[in-house]
Structure formats: C-alpha cells, structure tokens
Amino acid sequence: MANFKGHALPGSFFLIVGLWWSVKYPFKYFHQKRKRSQYYQRLEITEAAIRTLFSIVGILAEQFVPDGPHVHLYSENHWIKLMNWQHSTMYLFFAISGAIDMLTYLNTHVPLGIDRLVMAVATFNEGFLFYHHVHNRPPLDQYIHSLLLCAVFGGALSIFLEVILRDNIVLELFRTSLTILQGTWFWQIGFVLFPPFGAPKWDQKDDSNIMFITMCFCWHYLAALCITAVNYSLVCCLLTRLKRHGGEIIEIQKLKSDRKYQEALLGGSDEE
C-alpha cells in the first residue's frame, strides 16, 4: 500500500517482534540450562505462530484493501498494483519462515539451523524487493528507502551467521536492535512520504531534508540500541533479585531443617 497505513503496518509488526526479542533473548541467555525445556519449546512455537499470523494479516491487507489487486496480477495487457504484490511477496517469505520455525520444534527430523537459514533468506528477500522498489521516484523517497536496506541486509547477515553460531547472545541482540530499527524506520518513512493529520509534505528534492534524514536514521538506531540495552539490564536485575530471594528461602528452609534435626537428636539423648 503506497500510503501511511501501508508503512505503519509492517513497522508495527517489526517493532512488536523486536521488543519481544529484546526481552526473550536475555531471559534465554540467563537460563541456558533450561533452554531445551518443554516450556521453552512451547514459547518458541507460539512466537513462530504469531509471526506467521502477522505475515498472513499483511498479505490479506495488501491484497484486499479497497484499492488493492484482490489477487489479480495481470489484466488487459498491464500489471495490477505491483507495489502491493511486492509487499505481499515480502510477507509470504516471512510466513514461510514462521512455519519452518514451528516445524523445527515440532519435528525432530528438521535439521537444526534451517529455521535461521530460512529467516535469513526471508530478510534478504525483503531487502532485494525494496532495492528494486523505488526506481524513478523522487530523491528523498529513494534515499529513505535505501537507509532501510542498511538495517535489512545487516539483519540478514546477522541471521545467516546464527546458522553457524547458534544461540550467540551478541548476534541475537544485534538482530534484535536491527529489527526494532526496521520497525521505527517504517513508521518514519510513512511520516515523511505520507504525512498524516494534514501535516505539510516534505520537499522531496531538498538536500537539507536528505541530510536530516541521515542524522535521523542514526538517532533511530541509537534508540533501538538503548531499548535493547535497557531491557537486557532489566531482565538481568530481575533474575538476580529472584535468584537471591530464592537463595535466601532455601537457606532459611535448610536452617529450619537443621534445627529440627538437632532437636530430634537432643530429644533422643534425653530419653536414654
């Protein structure tokens, strides 16, 4: 959809997934021994199902909006709404990635690492589509989408490395920050190209706007890094407090049991 909602929708999906990962991966890192538990597997399956559902919603939104192609690709010697079809193709690959993630945890015959490989392919496909998405469009439009490619291809490379270096917390957090960046940048593109609420339109050929957008992209990534770091720190502090509190309870229970044992011994010696 070539409008504000068409950019806000994928932006929201990426932002939700990125925020979830910013909490999930620190929890997994501090509970490495439990990562293969049944609870963890159910959590992974649920996440994959939600990501698949997001993608299906995206496909339906692109195809069946009032001015959408309604699953018609070619008619009367011309292509129909190719931009919507490109967006649908992007969502399709992410839907396949979510389905493969579910199979990885439901079927032991699926090789470990296939889920990351397919996710990397889906992310690369997103960048490939957007690279050929803005030809013959105003300079600011082309440039703001090219900045998005930095996050997309960076994420694809990071996910591909996870095929080899699986469960690497640094790569997982890097991917998380780039996913959050994609989410916020999709929203930024919507605000720049299709200003809502009657806001004035940006001058597409003004070099100063391009300079500002470059700086704005850096701010977005700084915000994504801060969100990732803050959530990591919060999870670390929470688990440390819970562990300390749990340790105190264990020590109290142990002390009580020792006292009961001593009392039992003393009582037995008195009877003798």
Give dist(CA 167, CA 173) in Å, integer.
10
Q: How far is CA 120 from CA 13, 40, 125, 162, 265, in A?
A: 17, 22, 8, 9, 65
pLDDT of residue 250: 47
- Angle of CA points 89, 94, 100, to nearest 5°: 130
* pLDDT tens digits for range 14-24: 999 999 999 99
Domain extent listing, the chain: 4-271
3-state secondary structure of 79: strand
pLDDT of residue 253: 55
* pLDDT tens digits for range 51-67: 999 999 999 988 888 88
What would the mean pLDDT of 183-194 be, rounded to a whole number?
A: 93
* pLDDT tens digits for range 134-168: 777 888 989 999 999 999 999 999 999 999 998 89
Q: pLDDT band at 228, cuts 50/70/90?
A: very high
pTM: 0.85
